[in-house]
Structure 1
């Protein structure tokens, strides 16, 4: 677990300080995590964890709720935690994504209510939800890009991934 803590801490610091992430850093710890996790989980479970986290991360990127670095960190986090958390891979992946999105959603709600007021914020989000239901996810990717991108770019996603890993470790171990 110490290797994951080192990975996540350095990633959070570089994300906050420089707003960049290194692909070789993620690749190294992903491969190291796969080798470590292979002692506890099967190759199929590890592959499922990687593919599910990749799918969720790409979906979040499509709606501009995260960046590519966040997706990479979600994948590495899922692989590493699967070695320590004795629950199914899909349940672990879902809980990591849930606790990753929860603080982000709360911050978005607070910002929207401060900016537009409670009733206007609810009305605005209801309209976007209807648009999502009627036209699909692609319709939101360009919708209100200024406020979404500003919020996403100002909040380092590595903090939320690290928070998610910490909460999952506390809950399930």
Structure 2
């Protein structure tokens, strides 16, 4: 847990201060995480966690919810949490993304309601949902999304990881 806390803290500081994360930093802790996860999990579970995190991360990158650094942080977080928390891998990865996206969604609604009011916000989100169903792509119609999406991803990744450790440990 100490190694992951160091990783999370340094990532949080560099992501907030410089809005960048270092690839070698992710690689070092990715390798350490695989070593420690191998003590608790099988190789198939570790590979499944990596591919599932990459797949969901790339999907969210495509829709401009994630950036590349966020995906790397989530992959390393999923590997470390597979060592620290005894959940099935699929559930673990889903919870990491769920606890990442819930505060993002809540903040987005809060800022939209604050700006537009409840009625207009619900109407816009219903229209967005229908457009998502029709075009199969998320269409952002508000500049409020920029407010929420400009918050460093390390904050949400760390929130997700420490929430999971708190709930499931």
- Please give the range of the TM-score, normalised by the shorter of the 2 chains: over 0.9
Unpaired segments ≥5 residues, structure 2: none
CA distance in 1, matches of 2:143, 2:55: 25
The alpha carbon displacement at 1:152 in A equals: 0.8
CA deviation string 1:71-96 (max 9, x = no partner): 11110000000001111000001111
Match of 2:156 among 152, 155, 160: 160
TM-score normalised by the chain length of structure 1: 0.93
The alpha carbon displacement at 1:59 in A equals: 1.3
CA deviation string 1:45-93 (max 9, x = no partner): 0010011111111111111112111111110000000001111000001
Instruction: Name the counterpart of 2:145.
Output: 148
Instruction: Name the counterpart of 1:99.
Output: 99
Matched, 1:115 2:115: yes
Task: State how many pairs are aligned.
Answer: 169
What secondary structure does 2:58 align onto?
A: helix
**In the TM superposition, what are the counterparts of 1:1-173 in structure 2 within 5 Å?**
1-137=1-137, 140=139, 143-144=140-141, 146-153=143-150, 155-173=151-169
RMSD: 1.3
Q: Show structure 1 runs of 4+ deviating over 2 A.
A: 143-151
Alpha carbons of structure 1 residues 48 and 145: separation in structure 2 relative to 1, 3 Å: farther
The alpha carbon displacement at 1:118 in A equals: 0.8
The alpha carbon displacement at 1:132 in A equals: 0.3
The alpha carbon displacement at 1:44 in A equals: 0.6
The alpha carbon displacement at 1:98 in A equals: 0.7
Unpaired segments ≥5 residues, structure 1: none
Give the conservation status (yes or no) of the 8 Å contact 2:12–2:154. Answer: yes
What secondary structure does 1:126 align onto?
A: helix
TM-score normalised by the chain length of structure 2: 0.95
